[in-house]
Chain A
Amino acid sequence: MPATAAATDTRTITFREALREAMVGEMRRDERVFLIGEEVAQYNGAYKVSQGMLDEFGPKRIIDTPISESGFSGLALGAAMCGLRPIVEFMSWSFSLVAADQILNNAPKMLYMSGGQWGAPVVFRGNDGAGGQLGSTHSWCVEALYSNVPGLKMAIPSNPADAKGLLTTAIRDDDPVFFLESERMLSDTGPVPEGDYTVPFGAAALRREGTDCTLVSFGRPVNFCLEACDALEADGITCDLLDMRTIRPLDAESIVESLKKTNRIVVVDQSWPFASIASEVIAQVCERAFDWLDAAPRRVNTDDVPTPYAKNLEAAYLPNADKIVAAVRSLLGR
């Protein structure tokens, strides 16, 4: 479980509510924090994450924008450089692509290029990954593409409790944080501590313990891995399942430690295979623990094609429990 500071009782709430609790909590605590994006105020958020926040904080801190992703990303960066703590909501990370220069070429380099003078403590957050038949331009997984850039942090929670704790950490962080949510998980429920707590960046969570194989994942596919673990356990195969929680920083230590026990690794990642996070994990494993591998590492990614629109094709394209089970079995030869 996440490190709990002042957190008290735990109750069951949705992922969406957990995100909101983190933002509301930080906005009450810190006057510098504000939320900006399309439809975040009056409409309560395109996905209702910011429900009620305009009522509580007013239009100076919950800001609806014109449809200008580059515009409000750059504006947030400017505000951050003058001491504010913006949270930028992209309706979908797919739409952040039109703001690429601000979020990739400006925010993560500002501190470096100003010799430590201008920090960029902005949280960019929104839906990432195939939301369910939204077509290829609206179904981006940005993690591989964006995490390539030094100077940014990237968190990708798999459950409501982490969502709240990681987002709180993100808002308090002094660097730009890319926070990746999933439209497909916003209504998921789970136990979430009340009050104020943080989940540290760079600390993977061990979701399952086993001896046969190490499963590494992050975000929504962690849930597919849990399903796969159940199926495999029924056949007497047990896995360590590591939920990375942040990609930048990446807790490679925990992966190597687990691998030394299981000697096999499968990385499950819902983005394209080429130069993906899965590729990065496997590269690091090979560099650090090659002698501990009993079998070639495996990746379970999507297929190397644009996200299909048709229901049957989208389902065939995404990672799922069956594909994970098949990958683990093929490593074990059983």
Chain B
Amino acid sequence: MPKRVAYTAKIEFIQILDENGRFDAALAEGGLADEQAVALLEHLILCRHYDEIAFKLQRSGRMGTYPQNKGQEAIAATALAVTRDDWMVPCYRENPALFLHGLPMEHILLHWMGDERGNQIPEGVNVMPISIPIGTHMLHAAGIAWAQRLRQTGNVALTYFGDGATSEGDFHEAMNFATVMRAPCVFLCQNNQWAISVPREKQMASETVAQKGLAYGAECVQVDGNDVYAVYHATKAAVDRARADGTVTLIECLTYRLGDHTTADDARRYRDPKELEAWTKRDPILRLRTHLTAKGLWDDAKEAAAQDAAKERVARVVKNAEGIAKPSTDDIFDYTFATLPDGLRAQKESMRTHSLALEPGQETLRRAEAQHA
């Protein structure tokens, strides 16, 4: 019997604005409008400043560990490709997208300052809490998408994760479920080349992340993740497909973590400075700024205004976040179950006395009372 080819596939790479400023107008057609691009640049500048201030807050002891987003801001463009009712299911390195989708900027600071209330998402903002266990949230995204399908909301779920996260079984199970169930889900991998100190090629032997979706029958595409136009283009197509008929897409955004893994890391110990230098030139903000300037849509005055506005806004956000009173010990009991069981009520009461520096057994109180009597 002659051999035949059982399966072939190819992965497309999409780039609209390259690092040398070349712009593919044909591919950009119907994509980001000029005023959207300008507003996006202002947002990226704001997010970069926010990131720098967050880093400084950690260094000066005003915040816990923080994972910088620097270099990956183009992910914000995904938020322009969805409606406010679509769901974002994040890990921890996509602040620019979450903010654009309506998450107040205070929340991310609060979270990393070690306050659960950072994850108390305001009503009407369809963003899920940050997820620390790598990969587990992708299954939630598949479930959220399935719920949209059953409820016929017409909404789509977008989930974000890193290159390293694709090594977890949960990634594969989530892709499989979503495609088999035709759950309207878009999988967005920010391949920033590193998972802490592990480079992509030690993480996986496959040439691209995108091709991993082929095995599950998903649409798969790789984009220049530092090109807001390409990120928007691919996400818009994926979201539209998901909304139309539940087609699942895996988008691999090729990008780079310009900062350390978190403030607890020092990437200089394991990364080649030349690599960092090369990627610094591909900075998404730099690229968009150069492009819009060439088009006459951006200039020094606009830049100065954007920088000033960013400083002013971030200062206000920090002030708000730091100004929030410490959480009450009641919180830890009130939010463990939907209604407070009796056992916990008793613990809550004893914690109250403890937090007033009185021992839970109240022995000294009782003794004092006895003496008094």
Contact = CB atoms under 8 A, between A and B. Distances in A.
Contacts of A129: none
A138 interface: yes
Contacts of B270: 42-43
A316 B357 CA distance: 11
Nearest to A314: B114
A10 interface: no
A73 B270 CA distance: 26
B333 interface: yes
Given A309-B114, A310-B326, A304 B336 contact: yes
A296 to B, nearest CB: 12
B52 interface: no
A56 B60 CA distance: 37
A66 B196 CA distance: 11
Contacts of A322: 359
Nearest to B116: A309
B196 A46 contact: yes
A326 interface: yes
A40 to B, nearest CB: 11
B329 A323 contact: no
A295 to B, nearest CB: 12
Given A66-B203, A67-B135, A303 B332 contact: yes
Contacts, number: 120
Contacts of B35: none
Contacts of A224: none
Contacts of A330: 359, 361, 363
A316 B326 contact: no
B192 to A, nearest CB: 14
Given A38-B198, A306-B336, A67 B168 contact: yes
B83 interface: no
Contacts of B132: 134-135, 137-138
Contacts of B170: 98
A207 interface: no
Nearest to B169: A70
Interface in A303-334: 303-306, 308-314, 316-317, 322-323, 325-327, 329-330, 333-334
A71 B361 contact: no
A330 B358 CA distance: 13
B198 A39 contact: yes
A310 B336 contact: no
A292 interface: no
Nearest to A327: B361
- Among A69, A310, A316, A326, chain B packs the most CB atoms within 10 A around the CB of A310
Contacts of A251: none
A313 B116 CA distance: 10
Interface string A88-128: 00000011011000000000000000000000000000000
Nearest to A135: B132
B197 A43 contact: yes
A189 interface: no
A181 interface: no
Interface stretch (B43-51, B151-159, B218-226, B347-355): B347-355
Interface in A260-316: 303-306, 308-314, 316
Given A67-B168, A313-B332, A316-B354, A326 B197 contact: no
Interface string B332-369: 11001000000110010001001100011101000000
B17 to A, nearest CB: 32
Given A38-B198, A42-B197, A43-B197, A316 B115 contact: no
Interface of B: 64, 114-116, 132-136, 164-165, 167-170, 195-198, 202-204, 269-270, 326-327, 329, 331-333, 336, 343-344, 347, 351, 354-355, 359-361, 363
28 contacts: A38-B198, A42-B198, A43-B196, A64-B202, A66-B195, A66-B198, A66-B204, A67-B164, A67-B167, A67-B195, A94-B133, A95-B133, A95-B134, A98-B133, A135-B114, A135-B116, A135-B132, A138-B133, A304-B344, A305-B336, A308-B332, A310-B114, A310-B115, A311-B114, A313-B329, A323-B359, A329-B363, A330-B359
